[in-house]
Amino acid sequence: MRHGVIFIVVFFIFSGAKIVLFPEMAKFFYYFSSLFALRFQIKLYFCTTMMNDEKYMRRCFALAENGIYYAAPNPMVGCVIVKDDTIISEGFHQCCGENHAERNAILRIDDKTALKGSTLYVNLEPCSHYGKTPPCADLISQYPFERVVVCNLDPNPLVSGRGIEKISKAGIKVTTGVLEKEGRLLNRRFFTFMEKRRPFVILKWAQTRDGFMDIDRNDDSQKTYWITNQKLKCEVHKWRTQEAAIMVGTQTVVNDDPQLTARLWHGNNPVRVAIDRNGRIPSTAYILDGSCPTIIYTENSEMKCSEKLQYVVVNFDNLLDEILTDLWNRKIQSIIVEGGLRLLNTFIEQQLWDEARVLIGNKMFGKGLKAPSFPFVPNTVEQIDDDFICLYNAPEL
């Protein structure tokens, strides 16, 4: 019945047909058509507002990503200020200890009267506490914004809703949860660090087309065993500049003597982390050269530390938990685990990983050390020349 009445009303509204109606019926159709038009306008308004909110929040994401190299351990945050559907200012958090995104965006506007009636978009709840910078929520509350639109609430217990509360009390309308899932993915390192109280763990290894990650070390005739091409090597060095630490096991250091630095990409070197239970790493190894901060986890309490080299005694019966807790206490937000096989398998078996990056080189070894068994479907696969990068997210992501 309801759909039939709507059809009749719409038909006569848009067909231009002329009919004679009784006064009561005319009133009914008049009020009904008015209500229908009002509901349509309300739905259109909310749909338009939602689409605009998502559009400008995506711009916040793009700005925030500029902080990937230097914002940590702070989250990556971008901010956009919009008035009359036009961006009038924007900013992002460039470096830990410097201005946050909201402050950068507001300070760029010389005439602050332009903020009246505008909307501020930011992908993480404005902070409400004094840290290295003053609270952004206090700054926002000083100006006549009409709305503040937020993607994610801040899991930091020092904030955790308090920023939203301050802004709301200032009489500013607050909308939250816009593109919330995408926002968590962007700041997955930060959310993992805050919620799980450990670093975000990235597993990384290279393997051949036939599934080997190393040569047969008993075969002295095989000299060259680099698996992937030079472009992927540069990509790996770029990844190192984006994460706080990089980790390998004892056997990897003994076999390969890796430098674990970002020599092929501009940026900070990660903190180098290695396991050496019984002091097997030779003193000539690159990882002990003092060129950048290094942590060695061991059982030997007699190992001598230096300015950039620290030995940390841990209980090897609960190794990974102790290491990750120690790194969390050091405010190391993310770590790449590059091997070897035993270390990678331990992280996989204990489900202590968040992302895996598997590089598949266009080579065949025929025999050697098998790569980890990894029964997951990659989220993305990228081809670079003849090689591939398979990216996996842990199931909860």
For the annotated catalytic residues, the residue numbers are: 102
| Number of neighbours of residue 395 by Cβ within 10 angstroms | 7
Kindly give the interhelix angle for 319-329 and 341-349, rounded to the nearest 10 degrees.
90
Amino acid at 63: L
Residues 6 or more apart in contact with residue 335 via CB below 8 angstroms: 199, 200, 201, 202, 243, 244, 245, 246, 247, 270, 273, 327
- Provide the sign of the torsion angle of the four alpha carbons 35, 36, 40, 43, taken in this order: positive
CA distance 313 to 300: 7
CB 141 within 8 A of CB 176: no
What is the widest separation between alpha-carbon atoms in the chain? 102
- Which contiguous run of DSSP H or E holds residue 46? helix 23-64
The two tokens of residue 221 are 């005739």
CA distance 288 to 290: 6
201: which strand partners? 335
CA distance 189 to 201: 8
The two tokens of residue 55 are 């559009």
- CA–CA–CA angle 356, 63, 184 (5° rounding): 45
Strand 212-214 with 369-370, pairing: antiparallel
Q: Compute φ and ψ for 78, nearest 5 degrees.
A: -125, 155
Classify the phi-psi angles of 136: left when phi > 0, otherwise alpha if psi is within -120 to 50, otherwise beta: alpha
Q: Provide the b/e sequence for 24-45 (b: ≥16 CB within 10 Å).
A: eeeeebeeeeeeeeeeeeeeee
The two tokens of residue 252 are 């990897």
The two tokens of residue 63 are 């700005």
CA distance 364 to 366: 6
